[in-house]
Structure 1
Amino acid sequence: MKKYISIFFIIVPLAILMQGCTSDLDTQPEVELSLDELLDQDPNAVAGILSRLYASFALSGPDGAGSSDIDDNAGESPFLRGIINLQDFTADAIKNRWGDDGLDQLTTTSNWDENNKFFRYLYNRIYYTIPQANNLLLVLGAVDLDNKDQIEGEVRFIRALAYYYLIDCFGKGVLATEENYGTSEPLPEVDRQELFTYVENELLAAEELLPDTNEYGRANKSVARMLLAKLYMNAGVYTGTERFDDAATYISKIIDEGGYSLDADFVSIFSGDNFMSNEIIFPLIADSQNSQSYGNTTYIINGSLGTETMTLSQFGAEEGWSGHRATKAWYGLFNNGDLANSTDDRAALFWTEGHSYEMTDYKKWTDGYPSIKFRNTFYYSASNPTSFSSTDFPLFRLADAYLMYAECAVRGAAGASMSTALGYVNAVRNRSNAGSVAQSDLTLNFIMDERGRELNFEGHRRSDLIRFGKFTGNSYLWPWKGNTVNGTSIPDTYKLFPIPLTALEANINLTQNPGY
């Protein structure tokens, strides 16, 4: 069996009806049975509910690709699809050509407003997952259960992960917890600092509750530490106070105690059997049969394939949607764009045949090189093409931790050694035959570029560019930034997305972010 507990929806009469929306965060769960009664009937009931919480980041709903947990389009609104849309399309490396009712605003980093449905989708997904986690924590407190502390730790991590994207993307919102559950009045708005402190404390508590190792797809100590390290990496952006010393501490724990290692081949991490990886710290699970979605890696893979010059079966797909292409801001990082003569294996993961190097028209499929980094073929054995992807999304992986450590060292974090950082960077590069660099090469600009070479299309790029001071303004331009072919300056207000109009209308205590 390929996947483990996280891909399954155990069919039981759930004590918690998984519903939630931004307009009614404190809706009481509809109870058919008490959790004690439910556990008597099915000892796996809590595992099923927990599975649904994990799946809320990858799937649209419980009944296949056409179902949705929220009152939004099932195909367009899944959490992971939102991460890709808002973290990658708005940045330098990937552009989408479809222009669907607001998608142009993302891919050109321009004309953002509170009515854009893609901002609403992610905001609604965040505030779908949070109340469900609150519900489960409430009922867990009333029962005796094996591994109860561990399950509590997992739920608190899941809730913290949802809040992390609220902090990163929107900067503020309401703080819905099990403590204020059932409040009839609209919750007050809380700022980034308060959300940061809450998530930090939740992750520290979850770390204590979580085991050193867990089943594939479930949180362990390293997973909580990775999210905590990411929170600390971006603390200067989120709170105005840098926390790179703390980030380095938790990254070191992951590297030294987690038991992870770099996979021998880069492509294996993004293939249909990547559940065998020893590098992936935390995946969002996909399965072509059991967890179908238009919003997991199906979106990345099918969206990056076209039928004009590409054979879909070589990437394990049955459909090509001709949507996503990389720009020279990504493939130009390899040997100054001379991909054919680059020794870096990662430089070969672009489809160049029939496509132009320059993206003169972002709506033209053949302008820019599609990324073939993700694919649905198995790496370790033969496989057949499928309409939906079985490739898990590596939300956290060791190479990212290595590069985070190196960045901390370059930024002068206490306890981070430059010589150790050099070893980590060269381990990442040598895995892809990119060649070693010298310690003098480790500058912030180099780290930013190396993160692009290694991690683009993995939901990090916008946050990285903001942290490096390269997202807004004109110090770094990329194709179609600010809706011009060669890029132009964009205002600092774009470091946050606008609060969706539907959320503002649902809670009079919420206010719009500056500049919108």
Structure 2
Amino acid sequence: MKKIILILFCILASVQGCTDDLNTEPLVEQSLDDLLANDPDAVSGILSRLYASFALSGPDGPSSGDISGDTGESPFLRGIINLQDFTADGMKNRWGDDGLDQLTTTSDWDENNKFFGYMYNRIYYTIPQANNLLSILNSVSIDGQDQVVGEVKFLRGLAYYYLIDTFGKGVLVTENEIGVSAPLPEATRAELFTFVENDLLEAEALISNTKSYGRANKAAVQMLLAKLYLNAEVYIGEDRYSEALTFIKKVIDEGGYTLAPDFVSNFSGDNDSSSEIIFTLIADSETSQSYGNTTYIVNGSMGSETMPIINFGAAEGWSGHRATKAWYGLYEDNDDRGELFWTEGHNYEMADYKAWTDGYPSVKFRNSGFSTTLPATTFSSTDFPFYRLADAYLIYAECVLRGAAGGDASQALNYVNEIRQRSNANTIGLSELTLDFILDERARELNLEGQRRTDLIRFGKFTGSSYIWPWKGNTAQGTSIPDYYNLFPIPLSALEANPNLNQNPGF
């Protein structure tokens, strides 16, 4: 009888990305029939654990860990913020941690940086969980099976998307490789892209339009497909902007989402009521505590020596993250989004990225309620808006500007101006709607949402000297960095575990 594994685990020889502590025997095994007889919601519980792998450190609170290493540093979302935002132009961290310093200054990257290892291992912890659940679902019949399969394929695709984006290659392991002991071959970026594309297309056909907060629906799958296609020119050297536009139009036209009336409501402790958020990672100060969800963003951006942190719902301030002028310098005086920085006691110029008072902390994310009164807490209850409608609007506009078939320039302008009007920014005319404008508008609207590095790479602005920001290349005024920094180095532990893997060029 088919077994369901309650503690989903990965096999080191099959995946080559997991650490020894994950190569464990399952604690409980039952037949699926017995399990469902005792708990009809058992599969939903296992699926919830799969969702949680993107935000939590482990199953038993903030001190538990799914992968080896510091349980506070290693969660998936924290890795996304570190690798997407702190390596880019907008945000810098001041703690001086070995590894994090190298990210925030885009310098001295190598295969031993623990933060590259955390991301790689998180990816290859999540993928086997999805594979195990798909293996079970492929051999049984349960109510709502297509929906669950669609969600699992989406989550697996999301993990692979970050592999494609950050490391550019790895091993391709599916439910068909469960139990394989031989090291798997290296998969190219193009091979991974094709697999994820096909898997997500299958997921889109299976999953429903129904909105269930914290769970993926058809619009979430379409957002991920649109992002995959949007970056295809970087990932596989192909223009796929027309496909990106096709799927983003589905999100906009069929998803049933609307812009939240107030920008800040999307980033407050009661943002579960937002009409704009398409897919979210749930946080709760009591039931889903983590140092790696929005707690990292909120507490990390608060410092009691210069700020009234309780006003933003924080009981702790870690005095870590400050914005550079490359972000807050983009706003017009009347743009409400430009007011979401704490300036009192802080310097405009970031002469020293390790000085708390150099640069402006962002208060975009806060743990206080927008429409309700919430107490200040140590852990954040602000859900992370992984995908939201404003991003879809900006993707639409970018695709139109890049020549995608089926778009309309006037509609693109309307979408951009809707976003700007919400924040009282000046509307623009069609002649002002350029790709450079879109890149800046994405910074104004989406910074600290885990997208900036990918955006800069897509626009050809991350490496080289065409765009310089404070502390790029570890100099205060910024300097050029090499093109091979468009990918991260494969961690040494992965290379040692699988002789089929080769290091990315330049490292």
Length-normalised TM-score, structure 1: 0.95
Find the counterpart in structure 2 of residue 20 from structure 1.
10
For the Cα contact (< 8 Å) 1:22–1:128, is it kept in 2? no
| Structure 1: distance between partners of 2:219 and 2:56 | 24
Determine whether 1:326 maps to 2:323: yes
The alignment status of 1:209 with 2:216, answered yes or no, reads no
1:321 partner amino acid: W
1:456 and 2:447 matched: yes
Aligned ranges for residues 59-458 of structure 1 at < 5 Å? 59-335=56-332, 342-458=333-449
Q: Which of these residues, 436, 450, 459, is aligned with residue 468 of structure 1? A: 459
Secondary structure at the residue paired with 2:305?
A: coil
Task: Answer whether contact 1:22 1:503 (CA < 8 A) is retained.
Answer: no
Is 1:14–1:45's contact at 8 Å kept on the other side of the alignment? no
Residue number in structure 1 paired with 2:20: none
Q: CA offsets per residue over residues 180-233 of structure 1, 9 Å max, x none?
A: 221110110000000000000010000000001131111111000000000000
SS in 1 for 2:68: coil
Structure 1: segments with no counterpart, 5+ residues? 1-12, 336-341
1:38 and 2:28 aligned: no
CA deviation profile, 1:36-76 (whole Å, cap 9, x unmatched): 21111101110100000000000000000000011221100
Corresponding residue number in structure 2 for 1:506: 497
Partners of 2:116 and 2:24 in 1: how far apart?
A: 26
CA distance in 2 between counterparts of 1:139 and 1:369 reads: 50
- 8 Å contact 2:439–2:459 — kept in the other structure? yes
Give the deviation of 1:28 after TM superposition: 8.7
After superposition, what is the alpha-carbon deviation per residue over 1:253-278, rounded to whole angstroms, capped at 9, x for unaligned? 00000000000000000001101011
> Amino acid of the residue matched to residue 255 of structure 2?
G
1:24 Cα offset (Å): 5.0
> 3-state SS of the aligned residue for 2:322?
strand
- CA deviations on 1:495-516 (whole Å, 9 max, x unpaired) are 0000000110111111100000
Deviating above 4 A after TM superposition, structure 1's stretches of 4 or more consecutive aligned residues are 21-24, 26-29
Distance 2:89 2:496 in 1: 33
Distance change >3 Å, CA 28–CA 139, structure 1 → 2: farther
Q: What amino acid is aligned across from residue 158 of structure 2 in structure 1?
A: L
Q: Secondary structure at the match of 2:154?
A: helix
AA partner of residue 38 (structure 1): L
Report the residue type matching 1:67 in the other structure.
S
Instruction: State the alpha-carbon separation in 1 of the partners of residues 241 and 52 from structure 2.
Output: 31
AA aligned to 2:330 is L
Contact map agreement 2:14 2:177 (CA 8 A) in 1: no
- Letter of the aligned partner of 1:180 in structure 2? E
- Secondary structure at the residue paired with 2:5? coil
Partners of 1:499 and 1:512 within 8 A in 2: yes
* Aligned amino acid, residue 205 of structure 1: E
Query: Which ranges of structure 2 fall in alignment gaps of 5 or more residues?
Result: 17-22
Q: Distance in 2 between matches of 1:34 and 1:507?
A: 33
Residue 488 (structure 1) aligned with residue 475 (structure 2): no
Instruction: Output the amino acid matched with 1:436.
Output: T
In the aligned structure 1, how far is the partner of 2:330 from the partner of 2:4? Answer: 50
Distance change in 2, residues 1:50/1:488 (3 Å): same
Question: Would the aligned equivalents of 1:95 and 1:327 in 2 still touch at CA under 8 Å?
Answer: yes
Q: How many Å separate the matches in 2 of 1:22 and 1:373?
A: 40
8 Å CA contact retained: 2:13, 2:182: no
Q: Distance between the aligned counterparts of 1:142 and 1:257, measured in 2?
A: 33
SS for the counterpart of 2:196 is helix
RMSD after superposition? 1.3
Aligned to 1:53: 50
Partner AA of 2:417 in structure 1: N
State the percentage of identical aligned residues: 68
| Structure 2: distance between partners of 1:256 and 1:28 | 46
Structure 1 residues 71-119: Cα deviation after superposition (integer angstroms, max 9, x where no partner): 2211000000000000000000000001212111000001100000000
| Kept in 2: contact 1:88–1:94 (CA 8 A) | yes
Superposed CA offset, 1:167-191 (max 9, x none): 0000000001011221110110000
Alpha-carbon separation, structure 2, partners of 1:22 and 1:371: 40
2: CA distance, partners of 1:451 / 1:214: 26
Kept in 1, the 8 Å contact 2:59–2:66? The answer is yes
SS for the counterpart of 2:85 is helix
| Matched letter for residue 174 of structure 2 | T
